[in-house]
Structure formats: C-alpha cells, structure tokens
Amino acid sequence: MMQVTPVPAFTDNYIWLIGNTDNSGVAIVDPGDAAPVLDALQRMAKQPVAILITHHHRAHVGGIDKLLQAYPGLPVYGPANEAIPHLNQPLMEGAEVHLESLGLRFQVMELPGHTAGHIVYYGEGSLFCGDTLFANGCGRVFDGTLHDLYASLQRIAQLPADTQVYCTHEYTVDNIGFAKWVEPDNPALDARLEESWALLDEGHPTVPFELGREFETNPFLRTHIPEVIAKAEEIAGRETHTPADVFAVLRIWKDTEYD
C-alpha cells in the first residue's frame, strides 16, 4: 500500500516522500532543500530509490545536488523540456514511471502553464502536481501562458473526483481568502476555512486534498458558475465570452490585487 509523508521545507513548501508499507524505499518529489529530506530519511530509516521533479524552479530542484552526494546513482526523473539538474530520466506526455522496488506506477501528464514544461505524476489514486493546482487555487504563470494553465487545470478536472492531490505549498487558507473575494456568499468556503484552520492548529497540513472538493470551492475550477462569471465581468469591466476568459481575469486579478 502506498504511503506518502510530507517533509516541510522553507516557509510553506512540502517535499513528498512516496513509499509503501512493505519496505523502506521512498521516492522523493520536488526536493527544493536537501537538509530536511536527509533528516527525514535518517529519522524514518528510509532509503531513497528515485527523485521525481515536476518543474525547474529552484524551490523544487535545489536539493538535488546534495541528495546525490549522499546517495549517488539515484535516477532523477523530470520534464524533458526543462533544464533540471542531473536529469537522467527525461519524461514527456504519456510516459510511465515504474518504481519497481515500491510496486508503484505513475503516468506522466504534461501540464504547462506555471512553467512551459511542467509535468505531473498520476497513479495509485493520487496526483503529484507540483505548482499547477493548489487547494482552492492554482499556480502563477511564469514562463507558460494563461491559456496553457487553464487547459491544464481542465485536464486535471477530468480525473476521478476521489483523486488525492499532493501539491507542494501550504497555501490553502490564503487561497480561501481570495476565493471569498470571488464568491463571498459561498458557504462551502466557510466550512473549508474552518476545517483548514483546525488542521493547522493541530500541526497537520491541509494537503493532500480530494479533487472533488475543489469543484465546490476553487474559483479557478468554477469559471462556468454564474456567480464567478459575474465577479470576473465586474472586475474586467466587460463581458467575458468563455470560461478560459473568466479564468484569465481571475488569475490576473489575484496576481495584481491580492498576492
């Protein structure tokens, strides 16, 4: 059975250790900092078998060098279309990552937007999505495009509703704040906020989260909802013509007024 452990890093990052209950091996997802990973491996008596990278940002790749110094020869999986340090297993759409020693398989999806070559890993009822989708939010656009990010989120939305989503930042409460700007009368947001604070107060992360819940609270997946459309048109001062247009208005608004 798959077992996933969060390793907190920096101020709000999560580095994920993917293992199972049958052996001590783990795959490391997006190690931006080696120190907390090395501490966790030693404390948990785990042995890394692979590094999985979603995109090139330093907060996701910065620990690769030191991890390879400590564990030479680890395979480093990542997007073929981005410059990833020590990448030796380049991946493109439709590739499969078979972590044989863990008995786990993941399908690779190319989901650009946050970055131009961003990939995600989907399998075992779980999605390791880097900075594409967050609880109640989504990533900024850097070297991708708004159109690409919208299309990528729509692909994620087609996955089973019970998919467990492992994003890489603790942004949930902040994202709910923006979502309430968009839909101040959405009662699901109040319930989600209360639940999130309860988890954080007890020292637990708010992620992973179930994909299906996002359709109730994430404005970037609710761009077809009349209230969300109305708010986007109010902010833009014009009519919007497609859900993708609504998405672009909301993402730019968040970038310029909220963050």
| pLDDT above 70 (res 58) | yes
Name the superfamily (CATH) of residues 2-258: Ribonuclease Z/Hydroxyacylglutathione hydrolase-like (3.60.15.10)
**Contact predicate 112/72, CB 8 Å:** no
Query: Distance between CA 96 and CA 152 in Å, rounded?
Result: 19
CA 241 to chain centroid, in Å, comes to 28
| Lookup: tokens for 22 | 């049958």
**Contact predicate 29/119, CB 8 Å:** no
- The dihedral over CA atoms of 47, 50, 51, 52, expressed in degrees to the nearest 10, equals -130
| Lookup: tokens for 80 | 């073929």
For 61-117, the pLDDT digits (tens) are 999 999 999 999 999 999 999 999 999 999 999 999 999 999 999 999 999 999 999
Helix, strand, or coil (residue 254): helix
Q: What is the mean pLDDT of residues 110-135?
A: 98
**Contact predicate 13/59, CB 8 Å:** yes
DSSP-derived secondary structure letter, 104:
E
> How many beta carbons lie within 10 A of that of residue 11, not counting itself?
7
For residue 42, which amino acid is it?
A: Q
Binding-site members for Zn(2+) are 55, 57, 114, 131
Q: Please give the helix or strand (H or E) that residue 109 lies within, else none.
A: strand 104-110
Alpha-helical runs (H) found in the chain:
34-44, 58-61, 64-70, 146-157, 172-182, 187-201, 211-217, 226-236, 243-253
Query: Distance between CA 119 and CA 46 in Å, rounded?
Result: 26
- Quick one: pLDDT at residue 33? 98
Q: What is the mean pLDDT of residues 182-201?
A: 98
Helix, strand, or coil (residue 127): strand
- Quick one: pLDDT at residue 257? 87
pTM: 0.97
pLDDT bin (cut points 50, 70, 90) of residue 258 is: confident
Query: Distance between CA 177 and CA 182 in Å, rounded?
Result: 9
Query: Distance between CA 55 and CA 112 in Å, rounded?
Result: 10
Residue written as tokens 């968009």? Answer: 182
Binding-site members are 55, 57, 114, 131
Helix, strand, or coil (residue 116): coil
Cis peptide before 208 (omega within 30 of 0): yes
For 198-254, the pLDDT digits (tens) are 999 999 999 999 999 999 999 999 999 999 999 999 999 999 999 999 999 999 999
Helix, strand, or coil (residue 203): coil
- Quick one: pLDDT at residue 219? 98
% of residues, the chain, pLDDT over 70: 100
Mean pLDDT of the chain: 97
- Quick one: pLDDT at residue 259? 61
Which residues 6+ apart lie within 8 Å of 220 measured at CB? 137, 138, 153, 247, 250, 251
Q: What is the mean pLDDT of residues 182-190?
A: 98
